Amino acid sequence: MIFTDMELREILLTEDNVFLEELYSRAREAAKATFSNKIYIRALIEFSNYCKEGCYYCGINRTKTSVKRFRLKEEEIYSAVESAYEAGFRTFVLQGGEDMHFTDEAFARIISHLHETYDAAITLSLGVRSKEAYKMFKDAGADRFLLRHETADAEIFKKLHPAEQSLERRLRAIYDLKELGYQVGTGFMVGAPYTSVDSYIKDVKLIRDIDPAMIGMGPFIPSKGTRFESYPHGTVEMTRKLLAVLRLEHPKALIPSTTALNTIDDNGRKLGILSGANVIMPNVSPKFARESYNLYDGKKASGLEAIEGVRALNDYLKEFGYEIEFSRGDYNV
């Protein structure tokens, strides 16, 4: 289904809990119609927190001096993947800052190694690169790519990023990835500075145009040492509303219940799923890396968030009627 602008405005502004519970319940039913009660899991490997970009909201942006920088060696990436595979994961997500120490060739080599060694999906989340690089990664065996548009309002985008970045450049990369045949994920932060109901309506409509396989959306959370350090975090309620709207508009999309949502609310995982999310991305990075990969303050990286927790995660999901699905979980049109 597609909401009109007026319906979107009404949903995003309402405080009527009966109305909202009804919305969330419809979103859950839409997810169940496609995925039954299964929650897909993706092994998240944070391979580097070096970044050449200066996104003003981000806790690992290049200007932050207080960050302890790390970069996994290829062998450390492989051993994280190996443990994840043994734990049952069949999607690996290589996520990192825009770290040019990893050349296009280096990534291509890592991707081909993983592709040849494991019967599993490879997802990349490593920012903007050239179309040629994206093609090289695809040819090496990458299946999916996550690249959020962050906000669909070009003016707000400019206020959140240094001048060398633009919404246009981000969108070009997203469309390059689509053209190359990736399953593409996009998304935005809820409650980031300057965003509003008007900008979220633009986000929903942009996501309609992109028609992504995956939609990643979580609350903005301030990070100390960034210019937005004293801004409030996005709310659980607004995140849930947008999750539900996007689930209803994209019944087949893979939508995670994000770590950010779980960071602002101990029940975040569950609340995300009960609003239509159907993916969880536990962190399987080595411990030292997890501790330094802080896009925002207070980020959770243990327990149900991490590799140790697969069984505990399944028990947790069962309490409200869901269970882990271990297969690759590709997007099916």
Question: Nearer Cβ to ligand 5AD, position 35 or 228?
Answer: 228
Which residues, 6+ apart, have CB-to-CB distance to 264 below 8 Å?
A: 219, 221, 233, 234, 235, 236
Question: Nearer Cβ to ligand 5AD, position 77 or 189?
Answer: 189
CB of 181 to ligand 5AD, least distance (A): 22
Question: Nearer Cβ to ligand 5AD, position 135 or 148?
Answer: 148
The one-letter code for the residue type at 35 is F
Cβ atoms of 312 and 280 within 8 Å: the answer is no
CB of 22 to ligand 5AD, least distance (A): 28
Binding site for ligand 5AD (CB under 6 A): 57-59, 148, 150, 189, 218, 220-221, 223, 260, 295-296
The CA distance from 221 to 297, in Å, is 7
The CA distance from 170 to 150, in Å, is 9
Question: Nearer Cβ to ligand 5AD, position 183 or 223?
Answer: 223
CB of 235 to ligand 5AD, least distance (A): 13
Torsion sign over Cα 213, 33, 188, 103: negative
CB of 256 to ligand 5AD, least distance (A): 11
Question: Nearer Cβ to ligand 5AD, position 32 or 148?
Answer: 148
Question: Nearer Cβ to ligand 5AD, position 23 or 171?
Answer: 171
CB of 205 to ligand 5AD, least distance (A): 19
Quote the tokens at residue 275. 């609003």
Question: Nearer Cβ to ligand 5AD, position 30 or 246?
Answer: 246
Residue nearest to ligand 5AD (CB): 296
Question: Nearer Cβ to ligand 5AD, position 218 or 256?
Answer: 218
CB of 311 to ligand 5AD, least distance (A): 27
The CA distance from 49 to 29, in Å, is 38
CB of 272 to ligand 5AD, least distance (A): 14
